[in-house]
Structure 1
Amino acid sequence: MSAHRFDLARIGEGLPVAGAVPELTDAAAEGAVVVLAPPGTGKTTVVPPLVANLVAGRTLVTQPRRVAVRAAARRVASLDGSELGGPVGFTVRGQRAVGRETRLEMLTPGVLLRRLLADATLDGVDAVVLDEIHERSLDSDLLLGMLAEVRQLREDLLVVAMSATLDADAVAGLLQARTVAVPSVLHPLEVEHRPGPARLDARGVTRGFLDHLADVTAEAHARHGADALVFVPGAREVDELVRRLRARTPGTEVLPLHGRLPAAQQDRATAGRGPGDGPRIVVTTALAESSLTVPGVRLVVDAGLSREVRRDRGRDMAGLVTVSASRESIVQRAGRAARQGPGTAVRAFSPTDEARMPARSLPEIATADLTDAALLLSAWGTPGGRGLALWDAPPPEAIAQAMTALREMALTGDDDRPTALGRRVATMPVGVREARALLEGARELGDPRAAAEVVAAVSDDHRAEGADLEGLLRDLRSGRAPGTQRWRRETDRLTRIAGERSTADAAGGGAGTVLALARPERLARRVAEGSRSYLLASGTRAALPEGSTLIGRPWIAVWEVQRAEGRAADGTGAVIRLAAPVTAEEAEHLAGGLLQRRRSVRIDAQGRVVAREESSLGAIVLASTPVPATAADRAPAIAAKLREDGLDVLTWSDAARSLRARLALLHRELGDPWPAVDEATLLARLDDWLGPDLAARPRLEAVDVTTALRRLLPWAEAARLDALVPERLALPGGRSARIDYADGRPVVAVKLQDLMGAQVAPRVVDGRVPVLFHLLSPARRPLAVTDDLASFWAGPYQQVRKEMRGRYPKHAWPEDPHAPR
């Protein structure tokens, strides 16, 4: 390894972070540092070479996006006076410029994650710098936890986490790190609001708003005569706004900047304008918000929108949606205008819109499909993240769904450890579902390139007419579809990853085969002849777009499905955006663990137990045949009936209702071990209290509910039941009255004369709960309601006595009701 040292004075000249070099050097000696530095202060330029100078081995630096990786590497190499691939190199998906002399390697978090799986000790690496971790990407969050573990094995490994805005205490705690804050040097910033028409509708960003944004940008650019950076949510909006601006600003260079552009176009936008060039406009997504600096910008125009992952857990759908950006984001975007001099930020929305924006965006781990993360965690030896210290734990339901998906794809076993296929997939530079489809698709089709073409098409943001993937592939192969060159490059890369052609195990099939291997739970069957609605194996219903060439296909494999309403969704709540046909035989062959055979039992309208043998592909019933019911079918049939229709299908006697109400009061007042008897709990514990009756009784009507409920009584305390919540209350005259617990408290309805002589209202549950009396006239009409007899006798009784003794002269209305009768 070369002893190349970076000239920090030259590299950091004029950058605020250069003033913190002595403090950063001192902190690095402790093994871990958290650097807080706003965008534009130079942390990405200065800190990596500083760290590289402090260690003997290679320093790895992560940037959240490929364009940011290349831009950062290019800038540091330029300031160092060296060529890319020399002391400074980079690695991103599909592109690598690293040599033997490389001391500083920029890379994406995904690349580093897979290196860790291949070599958990990072042999030859002495430092890792995680930049822009405030963006809370899923890969960066996982890296943070894994590197914290690696540091326990390698005390010599220096780890630096850098961010523009960050919960420093949380990250410092994970890494056991010292925090260094670099102050921002901002020039004056003027903020303007230029609201226009509605920004969003059901289909995304409105055309009217894009027109407004183009007008605002053109006017502001002409007025300020400065390089402008315009923020929109996604690549499609970038391209549409660039087209509008070129029409409105002839002679001005208008450049797009987003992740799907070829590297040369990205580099053109991030390199800054050349000598003699006029002010230009760069239209970008959020990638220029903090992880990437576009030189020379003095004007920022912000749509106030962001593209974020959202998950519909009920329909098992996840995808990017356009939402309002966070207030934290728009502050960072605006700051881009005031890094090199006074600047202006134009916000194309109102102050009211701004006030309604969330303070900050949710971390990706809270909203994303966690299938990729789940396999990485399993391969790391911490299935589901158990035992790994993470910034935020994955949501339990989402990680459980992801782990189930891995088992269904045969990527993990029943112990949640990776299978041989899972171990290979985990290290591949492509998503888990895509990698599995690529490898298994190449085997099924006997042609790695055919599988690679499908995976390349679905991995990018191509749009298929009528959701027809096979039609999209034809257009891509012929060059008619936008993005053909990008698709071909990705197909070549994936073909190399998949390996050589092999037809030995080929089973045939087409694009649908590859999709089904990636998402077997999205195999779907048409719900009815002539319908465009389909039932997915996951249980979700979705509709093909009107006019789709796939309509009429009995089976399809679905890749993309989006939530939708109205006619487009055909009443299903979702629309299929990308799919390919499969045959019924292919669906069953590709379904894997989703293909099941089971016996179902139920109680029919006449109360009889009926049974069927069913075969299903997930939620899709393939065949259902009636078979004779057996004695063993009775219990599951009755249990299923109760869970479907509720406990009211049982015959509840007055004694049973009373016992349930008494137990409910005990559980509320005393808690365990007195059992909860609400509907949900009783249904969940059917075997505990109804178990013997389910098997022994021929019909529901024959079940003795009172006896069954008594099975829930705690054995040691059962003898105290009648003492704690008695069924009857002794009255002063020697009679007794029934206590009604139905309303959640003890109630006794009794003639007023029967309580004369009682000093105070009695209490139940060891004196915790007073009895509520409904006091009645001799004709059993209501007179008063009270749970405080002493107060009643002392006050309201005298008015009742006055009114009642004339109406009922034969009954006693003593002036002193305390005296025994």
Structure 2
Amino acid sequence: MLVAPPGSGKTSLLPLALGDALGGTIIVAEPRRLATRAAAARLAMLVGEPLGQRIGYAMRGERTGGQGLRVEVVTTGLLVRRLQQNPELPGVSAIVIDECHERHLDADLLLAFCVDIRANLREDLAIVATSATPDTVRLSRALGTDVPAPVITASAALFEVAVEWVPPPVAVPLLPGGRVDPRLLDHVAAVVQRAWTENDGDILVFVPGEAEIDGVTRRLAGWNVLPLFGRQSKAEQDRALAATATRRIVVTTSVAESSLTVPGIRVVVDAGLAREPRTDQSRGLGALVTCRVSRSSADQRAGRAGREAPGRVYRCWSAVDHTHLDEHPAPEIATADLAGFALDLAAWGAPAGAGLTLLEAPPAVAMTAATELLRRLEAVDDSGRITERGRRMGAIGAHPRLARALMDATPRIGADRAREIVAMLSDDAGRDFGDDLPARWRALRRGADRGATARWREETKRLSRGTTAGTALAPPAGGASPGAAAGAQAGGASAGSSRPAAVVPDDLAVGVVVGLAYPDRIGRVRGVGSATYQMSGGTGAALDPQSPLRNTTWLAIAVADRAPGRADARIRSAAPIDEQTARDLAGELVSTTDQIRWDDGRIVTRRVEALGAIVLNDVPLANPDPLLVQAAVRDGIRRSGLSVLRWSEAALALRQRLAFCHAYLGAPWPAVDDEALLTGLDEWLGTELAAVRGARDLSHIDVTSALRRLLPWPAASRFGELAPERLEVPSGSQVRLTYDGAEPPVLAVKLQEVFGWTATPAVADGRVPVVLHLLSPARRPVAITSDLASFWRQGYPQVRADLRARYPRHAWPEDPLTATPTKRPKPRQ
């Protein structure tokens, strides 16, 4: 492990020193294409040889140098694919993994593979990880076997960089969708002009992306401004990296943060923003998100000004804001789409990273989503092991979704058109042409943007190399690809053929490829004239109101991102399709279900055909399954509650008597609270539910009879004795008892009717005394007691005195125990 600051020779001097010490070929892995080419050029200059002699480089679609190189600089992604093909690396003595601290996904994967190779195949293979930050504990542990690998710290004669804090005069927040407020670009351009007048030397300006590069460049019209970004042509990049005699302003992105020296730079102007990949796992949407730069990245950027002489950095934020920045950027494994990562692990024989030394375990949710996607694509089997189809997909060197699209679109539209469309989607080379993907394709073919067209053609050629009719473009194992038969019937070319399938129009051909890559993003418009779509994956998506795709009923959506707080995603690129094509492309998402549900007091029965979350047909169901109807009724009652039934006084009284027995006698008397009755609906209400079709039917159910099914036999034979409905009082009246669940029952009776009653009556085999509500002749309570004997002794004299005055026509004897009970007043004299 080598830790050294920018400009200390990690990328240039170290590989040459390793070559002298070890012999063989030294491979240097760089995270970016721009840094790969620049590092190789720097090494060739140091040894005084042209590129390709003993110093070479390689990246996707481009290579300089052949066998026997002293040093080869490659992109990390390319080296990962090389290791998959030949992990023994014959002739290679060391691998330098540069800028490990940036924690790119390919670099994490490469490090794990290299450690595995050294442990099992090549003990002699030297692995050196380099970093510009001292946060090396995790790296050194990963590189070591029994003990952490040694960490060598080097210093360099770096020049001092003065810091100027120049926040905008007013706070400028990020706009929805991660867009940069034009006011911030105005401020950046103004700071550049100030820096030009206050300093000598060239200026390097950091902004988050190409759109912002263009925005700052336009604001500095008339100045010597050169853009520098990863998707430029080699000539354009060389022009920005070459030393010049005249002062210049180089506007760039994070690609120039590390592994790269831009000669002549004395000043850095940093907008303080970066663009990083983020994936919404729950919706399957990915996007590049604009975020605040981390402190370590800000230091890396500032260091560009001190590579050759003392410099200055102008930071477009405050010193206070700087303390609130994250220390390091989030590792890509924590935020990115892991489908390609998971396929590489499966191809290595380590599904989900089992047995590998990964710097950080992939998030479980993201890894599960990636593995499930690979299963749907038939790239891995149920155990996570790679299939033959998965190996063919991996050999294509594109995201698994795009590899699948290339393989399965070829029989439909022809290999040439499939490659061209996948190349466009893979590189997004035509993104400046708006959201209309067929229009992008046409613009690329006619060369509207020479640089974009050149990159697109190179990627198309790369996709054609190594793909043959019998291998990479073969249909899935076990049969034709989804919908391939329909494509063949429509006149599609055979697998691997370059002959275009002329029957499929160009616009629809783009939609076919996009739909095969992203079946979960097939969308149908929500209404006539609407610009919003329902995607099959369940998320809504909206077109720009001015989009040429407006009024298109069906879309295959390639890119959609959802800003926080927005219900619908924003469609960034898409192609029109029709319903039949949507059905063919996403056949695995098409389902027909009978929906029988309780809705607002009635049974609704429908037969619904859907493509994922898109309802294709919804018609009444003529003969619904009676069992499903009963299940819907049960569900409706459970959701709405027992109040949807008609509870007569008799039903309520029976329920309370049952509740009383359960409370005081326990088993076998059942619970009859709401939860128990709803849980056991079938047990007591099942027969009646079979005939229910709506709320009116529920109102006709005899709940009393249904509840009687809960009476436990043979104990039910004593129900009337244990919890009697009525009690006979001394006057001869049969008086109703009132039950209230777990409370003792209440007997409300006129006081005169219980003369002579010496003891309080009890129920439940004498366990529970009745609560007597003794009433006046006007049936108003004058006493409440559960101890009648005590009442006669202590309470009755006072009650008698009061009642004699109020009801003189009634008998109020001094001794109620010997008096004759009556329910009538004394006869008139």
Pair in the same fold by TM > 0.5: yes
Rounded to whole Å, the distance in 2 between the matches of 1:480 and 1:619 is: 38
Secondary structure of the residue that 2:288 maps to in structure 1?
A: strand
Residue identity opposite 1:510 in structure 2? A
Report the TM-score when normalising by structure 1: 0.71
Q: In the alignment, is the contact (CA less than 8 A) between 2:418 and 2:513 conserved in 1?
A: no
1:90 aligns with 2:63: no
Q: Please report how far the alpha carbon of residue 657 of structure 1 lies from its aligned counterpart in structure 2 after TM superposition.
A: 12
* Residue 542 of structure 1: aligned partner: 541
* Residue 108 of structure 2: aligned partner: 141
* Residue 35 of structure 2: aligned partner: 68
Name the CA shift for 1:293/1:584 in 2 (closer, same or farther; >3 Å). Answer: same
CA-to-aligned-CA distance 1:23-51 (integer Å, 9 cap, x gap) = xxxxxxxxxxx111121111111222222
Residue identity opposite 2:49 in structure 1? S
Give the alignment of 1:606-625 within 5 angstroms: 606=601, 608=603, 612-625=606-619
Q: Please report how far the alpha carbon of residue 109 of structure 1 lies from its aligned counterpart in structure 2 after TM superposition.
A: 1.0
1:503 aligns with 2:493: yes
Within the candidate set 178, 185, 191, 1:210 is matched to: 185
Secondary structure of the residue that 1:165 maps to in structure 2?
A: coil
Within the candidate set 167, 175, 188, 1:195 is matched to: 167
Name the CA shift for 1:469/1:484 in 2 (closer, same or farther; >3 Å). Answer: same
Name the CA shift for 1:332/1:368 in 2 (closer, same or farther; >3 Å). Answer: same
* Residue 603 of structure 1: aligned partner: 598
Rounded to whole Å, the distance in 2 between the matches of 1:164 and 1:643 is: 63
1:256 aligns with 2:227: yes
User: For this pair of structures, how many residues does the alignment match?
Assistant: 643
Q: Percent identity?
A: 40
Give the alignment of 1:506-545 within 5 angstroms: 508=504, 509-545=508-544
Rounded to whole Å, the distance in 1 between the matches of 2:644 and 2:19 is: 73
Rounded to whole Å, the distance in 2 between the matches of 1:481 and 1:622 is: 40
Secondary structure of the residue that 2:127 maps to in structure 1?
A: strand
Q: Please report how far the alpha carbon of residue 79 of structure 1 lies from its aligned counterpart in structure 2 after TM superposition.
A: 0.6
Q: In the alignment, is the contact (CA less than 8 A) between 2:210 and 2:253 conserved in 1?
A: yes
Query: What are structure 1's unaligned runs of at least 5 residues?
Result: 1-33, 659-681, 709-736, 740-778, 781-821
Residue identity opposite 1:120 in structure 2? P
Residue identity opposite 2:217 in structure 1? V
Rounded to whole Å, the distance in 2 between the matches of 1:358 and 1:309 is: 17
Name the CA shift for 1:503/1:80 in 2 (closer, same or farther; >3 Å). Answer: same
Rounded to whole Å, the distance in 1 between the matches of 2:87 and 2:684 is: 55
* Residue 767 of structure 2: aligned partner: none
Rounded to whole Å, the distance in 2 between the matches of 1:104 and 1:556 is: 48
1:583 aligns with 2:617: no
Name the CA shift for 1:348/1:643 in 2 (closer, same or farther; >3 Å). Answer: farther
1:122 aligns with 2:89: yes
Q: In the alignment, is the contact (CA less than 8 A) between 1:438 and 1:455 conserved in 2?
A: no
Q: In the alignment, is the contact (CA less than 8 A) between 2:634 and 2:681 conserved in 1?
A: no
Name the CA shift for 1:95/1:690 in 2 (closer, same or farther; >3 Å). Answer: farther
Residue identity opposite 2:254 in structure 1? A
* Residue 467 of structure 1: aligned partner: 435
Name the CA shift for 1:565/1:143 in 2 (closer, same or farther; >3 Å). Answer: closer
Q: Please report how far the alpha carbon of residue 62 of structure 1 lies from its aligned counterpart in structure 2 after TM superposition.
A: 0.6
CA-to-aligned-CA distance 1:91-120 (integer Å, 9 cap, x gap) = 011110122221321111110111122123
Deviates more, 1:647-656 or 1:307-316: 647-656
* Residue 268 of structure 1: aligned partner: 239
CA-to-aligned-CA distance 1:696-738 (integer Å, 9 cap, x gap) = 6875999999x99xxxxxxxxxxxxxxxxxxxxxxxxxxxx98
Residue identity opposite 2:576 in structure 1? P
Q: Please report how far the alpha carbon of residue 614 of structure 1 lies from its aligned counterpart in structure 2 after TM superposition.
A: 3.6
1:410 aligns with 2:378: yes
Residue identity opposite 1:617 in structure 2? L
* Residue 458 of structure 2: aligned partner: 489
Secondary structure of the residue that 1:467 maps to in structure 2?
A: coil
Rounded to whole Å, the distance in 2 between the matches of 1:290 and 1:187 is: 16
Name the CA shift for 1:621/1:636 in 2 (closer, same or farther; >3 Å). Answer: farther
Q: Please report how far the alpha carbon of residue 69 of structure 1 lies from its aligned counterpart in structure 2 after TM superposition.
A: 0.6
* Residue 731 of structure 2: aligned partner: none
Give the alignment of 1:361-760 within 5 angstroms: 361-453=329-421, 455-456=423-424, 459-460=427-428, 462-463=430-431, 467-481=435-449, 483-496=452-465, 503-504=493-494, 508=504, 509-564=508-563, 572-606=567-601, 608=603, 612-625=606-619, 626=621, 628-630=623-625, 632-633=627-628, 637=632
Rounded to whole Å, the distance in 1 between the matches of 2:687 and 2:367 is: 41
Rounded to whole Å, the distance in 2 between the matches of 1:183 and 1:373 is: 35
Q: In the alignment, is the contact (CA less than 8 A) between 2:511 and 2:576 conserved in 1?
A: yes
Rounded to whole Å, the distance in 1 between the matches of 2:30 and 2:271 is: 24
Q: In the alignment, is the contact (CA less than 8 A) between 2:424 and 2:441 conserved in 1?
A: no
Q: Please report how far the alpha carbon of residue 465 of structure 1 lies from its aligned counterpart in structure 2 after TM superposition.
A: 5.9
Name the CA shift for 1:641/1:291 in 2 (closer, same or farther; >3 Å). Answer: farther
Rounded to whole Å, the distance in 1 between the matches of 2:232 and 2:278 is: 24
Report the TM-score when normalising by structure 2: 0.70
Residue identity opposite 1:202 in structure 2? P
Within the candidate set 146, 150, 157, 1:185 is matched to: 157
Secondary structure of the residue that 1:487 maps to in structure 2?
A: helix
Name the CA shift for 1:391/1:657 in 2 (closer, same or farther; >3 Å). Answer: farther
Residue identity opposite 1:619 in structure 2? A
Q: In the alignment, is the contact (CA less than 8 A) between 2:61 and 2:458 conserved in 1?
A: no
* Residue 5 of structure 2: aligned partner: 38
Q: In the alignment, is the contact (CA less than 8 A) between 2:437 and 2:574 conserved in 1?
A: yes
Residue identity opposite 2:553 in structure 1? P
Q: Please report how far the alpha carbon of residue 391 of structure 1 lies from its aligned counterpart in structure 2 after TM superposition.
A: 1.2
Give the alignment of 1:308-319 within 5 angstroms: 308-319=276-287
Q: Please report how far the alpha carbon of residue 347 of structure 1 lies from its aligned counterpart in structure 2 after TM superposition.
A: 1.1
Residue identity opposite 1:406 in structure 2? L
Q: Please report how far the alpha carbon of residue 602 of structure 1 lies from its aligned counterpart in structure 2 after TM superposition.
A: 2.8
Q: Please report how far the alpha carbon of residue 239 of structure 1 lies from its aligned counterpart in structure 2 after TM superposition.
A: 2.8
Structure 1 runs (4+) deviating above 4 angstroms are 495-502, 610-613, 634-658, 689-705
Name the CA shift for 1:346/1:565 in 2 (closer, same or farther; >3 Å). Answer: closer
Secondary structure of the residue that 1:427 maps to in structure 2?
A: helix
Q: In the alignment, is the contact (CA less than 8 A) between 1:61 and 1:107 conserved in 2?
A: yes
Rounded to whole Å, the distance in 2 between the matches of 1:542 and 1:217 is: 39
Rounded to whole Å, the distance in 1 between the matches of 2:659 and 2:234 is: 73
Residue identity opposite 1:545 in structure 2? D
Rounded to whole Å, the distance in 2 between the matches of 1:648 and 1:164 is: 70
Name the CA shift for 1:57/1:648 in 2 (closer, same or farther; >3 Å). Answer: farther
Q: Please report how far the alpha carbon of residue 564 of structure 1 lies from its aligned counterpart in structure 2 after TM superposition.
A: 4.8
Rounded to whole Å, the distance in 1 between the matches of 2:657 and 2:77 is: 65
Name the CA shift for 1:473/1:182 in 2 (closer, same or farther; >3 Å). Answer: same
* Residue 670 of structure 1: aligned partner: none
Name the CA shift for 1:182/1:696 in 2 (closer, same or farther; >3 Å). Answer: farther
Rounded to whole Å, the distance in 2 between the matches of 1:424 and 1:540 is: 31
Q: What RMSD in Å do the two structures reach over aligned CA positions?
A: 3.9
Rounded to whole Å, the distance in 2 between the matches of 1:647 and 1:263 is: 75
Residue identity opposite 1:233 in structure 2? P
Within the candidate set 142, 156, 159, 2:127 is matched to: 159
Rounded to whole Å, the distance in 2 between the matches of 1:534 and 1:290 is: 42
Rounded to whole Å, the distance in 2 between the matches of 1:51 and 1:657 is: 87
* Residue 99 of structure 2: aligned partner: 132
CA-to-aligned-CA distance 1:617-648 (integer Å, 9 cap, x gap) = 22223234425343653686479769988999
Rounded to whole Å, the distance in 1 between the matches of 2:108 and 2:638 is: 41
Q: Which has the larger radius of gyration?
A: 2
Q: In the alignment, is the contact (CA less than 8 A) between 2:398 and 2:426 conserved in 1?
A: no
Name the CA shift for 1:367/1:499 in 2 (closer, same or farther; >3 Å). Answer: same
Rounded to whole Å, the distance in 1 between the matches of 2:509 and 2:449 is: 20
Residue identity opposite 1:224 in structure 2? N
Rounded to whole Å, the distance in 2 between the matches of 1:59 and 1:347 is: 38
Residue identity opposite 2:162 in structure 1? E
Q: In the alignment, is the contact (CA less than 8 A) between 1:634 and 1:694 conserved in 2?
A: no
